[in-house]
Amino acid sequence: MRFGINTFLFTSPFTNDSIKLFPRFKTWGFDSVEIALEDPAHIDPALVRQALDDNGLVCGSICAAMGSGRDLRGIPPEQETALSYLKSVMDVMPTLGCGMLAGPLYSSVGRAGVETSEAYAQQWELVVKHLTTLSAYAGQAGLKLAIEPLNRYETDFINTADRALQMIDAVGSTALLLHLDTYHMNIEEKDPVKAILQAGDRLGHFHACGSDRGTPGRDQINWRKINSALQITGYTGYVVIESFTPDVKVIAKAASIWRQIEPSQEAIAVEGLEFLRDHMK
């Protein structure tokens, strides 16, 4: 199993200056960096790639930042903005040496309300159309996309692995896979292990986060069963720590981190990685 760290734990937005984090990530023992890329214009991808190489790291994944105004099921300008943003991220991924774009690619995070069945069906068809376009774009570049179900407080659109897999089936592209996160599964899945097994070889990306969005292992998740399920599916992707603290204000607000869940950002990274290496083989 290979392990990564999401940059949202330490910074937002990710810029050229953020490469100063890489030596710390390497010292702590991570294999990869998951760059939360809010805007590709914020970075020189060749510079970032060189810094990764210099520190013996890879960019195992890009975490899409689906903020307000980026919404594949929104009004037409929001759809176009989302499409343009996601394509622009894919355009820099080959230079970064990254093959996976993951996250809730289908809608703005935080859009959660009551929709009529008719409105939801129309939105579903819009997202199918746009993800079909994006999957073709990814496939032509040799890239993969992975859509992430979020909890009910962050989206009303796709909350479970089963629903995400229905979207993947509707799109029908081998470039589109599933991204699961232990925090969201802890809220939404009747049985997270069953969700992982249902995903099978369509599981493309995995986030490891405590049940309170803190350090993996300092929580109530049954990590032994999670590991067993991943082994059964033959998962060979990265297991990425995606946790948050109040230190990065904009992300803390977006993720509703109102209190100090863990002692520090470094504690989440170091103790989380140590736990995962001991419990996920």
Residues with a known catalytic role = 148, 242
Region label for 263, one of left (φ > 0), alpha (ψ between -120 and 50) or beta (otherwise): alpha
> Any alpha helices (H) in 237-264, and if so which ranges?
249-254
Nearest Cα neighbor of 104 from 112, 95, 115, 94 is: 112
Coil, helix or strand at residue 147: strand
Buried b (16+ CB within 10 A) or exposed e, 48-65: bbebbeebebbbbbbbbb
Residues 276/3, Cβ–Cβ less than 8 Å: yes
> For the chain, how many helices (H) and strands (E)?
10, 8
> Quick one: the chain helix, strand, coil %, rounded to 5?
50, 15, 35
Distance in angstroms (rounded) separating the CA atoms of residues 43 and 46: 9
Give me the phi and psi of 272, to 5 degrees please.
-65, -45
